[in-house]
Amino acid sequence: MMRTEVLVVGGGMVGAATALALSQAGFEVTLLEKQPPDLSWSAERAYQPRVSALTRASEYFLKSLGAWQGIEKRRSQAFTAMHVWAEDAPNRIDLTADALGEANLGHVVENSVVQAALWEPLMASPVRVLSDSVSAMEATKTGREVRLSSGKRLHASLVVGADGAFSSVRQLAGIGLDTHDYAQAAVVGCVKTEKPNQDACWQRYQHTGPFAFLTLGSYLSSIAWYLPLEQKDWALSLNDRDFAQAVSQASNGFLGDVMEVGERAAFPLVRRHAQTYVRPHLVLVGDAAHTIHPQAGQGVNLGLLDAAALAEVLVEARQAEPETWCRRHVLRRYERWRRGDNQLVQRAMEGVDWLYTQQGGLAKPLRTQVLPQADRLDFVKQWLMQQALHGRGRLPKACQAGHS
């Protein structure tokens, strides 16, 4: 039977970051991933439909792992402003990097680029990578015995579930989910517009949900178009010309006509939150623990905060109590640290969605009369930008400036 200190299940962005952070801290790490990313790169490669808006905290963490340079040598786009408005509001809210004295408010990066940039240092590290998956798990006094789909068996002192929203680790551990179905789908992809996006992210709220352009540079943008779930297949079935016309109409032409469209995808929106992040010798991170409404692009940022926080907790625990670093009372420190922040962001995203999409009650006067006044309150906007860019509350050391 193979043995390892830490078994990370799932090699996506958060799983790869977790495995790399723990390996760099001196843990013996094994990573399970059935489909490792393609590390080859060409500047002519078409843009992928899934992107994230990485915060400064995520940037610092990725730099500490040696992954940021892999992003820079591929491609990313800094955004220097965010413009938000509702279709029935008299004006918009403008958030700018200049107002904070910052060079930018974050970077829009394809998820595949982030994953590949993490896998480069990962493959050069001592992490043992197995192209396999988990089929069964059993708790023991000293860890978890894991049966792999290949038939192999493995003993891990700690299992980290980083295997996404439909986590097999979470299911095998018997951890329940609290869920909310938004009855919406996000249609995403890359488009070229008639007018330049000014290195900004633009978000317009409509009664059906938000529509956003996230800058990929000059005239290229990643779109996030939120539709009632029953319209998802319709949007994907359109030919390129009709899709471009539909996007132009949905955006109300605020970047002119859509001239070209690239690959697109769609996925249903569901809020999920694991009822606990921990079991004996087992812990969840990223989408395995929580998913949120993606309208602010915060999902992967929360997952990277999970990874950095877990690594910090385990390193401190092993130094202080080397025999019990993977026990439940230690893992609960991580859960207490991250659960509240993840839940806060989940609820905040729902609050924003309610504010901008509800047509009756308090929402409309707040949206059309009160919120526009916030654009005149610089201190409110600066606080909001600081929270979005640098994070809230206690940040892991690896997510702070000056960490190396």
pLDDT at position 256 = 97
In CATH, which superfamily holds the domain spanning 2-83+103-180+271-399?
FAD/NAD(P)-binding domain (3.50.50.60)
E strands, 170-208, are 177-193, 200-206
Domain ranges for the chain: 2-83+103-180+271-399, 182-267
Q: CA geometry: angle at 266 spanning 261 and 267, to 5°?
A: 160
Q: How confident is the model at residue 207 (pLDDT cuts 50, 70, 90)?
A: confident
pTM for this entry: 0.93
101 to 1, 80, 147: CA distances (angstroms) = 55, 11, 52
CB-side neighbour CA atoms (13 Å) of 47: 28
Fold matches, 2-83+103-180+271-399 and 182-267: no
Homologous superfamily in CATH for domain 182-267 = D-Amino Acid Oxidase, subunit A, domain 2 (3.30.9.10)
Q: Does 374 have pLDDT greater than 80?
A: no
- Whether 89 has a pLDDT exceeding 70, the answer reads no
Render pLDDT for 212-230 as a digit per residue (tens, 0 to 9). 999 999 999 999 999 999 9
Confidence check: pLDDT of 355 > 70 = no
Q: Is the pLDDT of residue 358 over 70?
A: no
How far apart CA 278 and CA 346 sit, in angstroms, is 20
The mean pLDDT value for 169-188 works out to 96
Distance from C-alpha of 95 to C-alpha of 97, rounded to nearest angstrom? 7
CA gap 214, 390 in Å, rounded? 19
Is the pLDDT score of 163 beyond 80?
Answer: yes
Q: Which two tokens stand for residue 42?
A: 């060409």
- Confidence check: pLDDT of 95 > 90: no
Q: What percent of the chain has pLDDT over 70?
A: 88
Inform me whether the pLDDT recorded for 2 exceeds 90.
yes
Average pLDDT of the chain is 90
Query: What is the Cα–Cα distance from 223 to 187, expressed in whole angstroms?
Result: 8
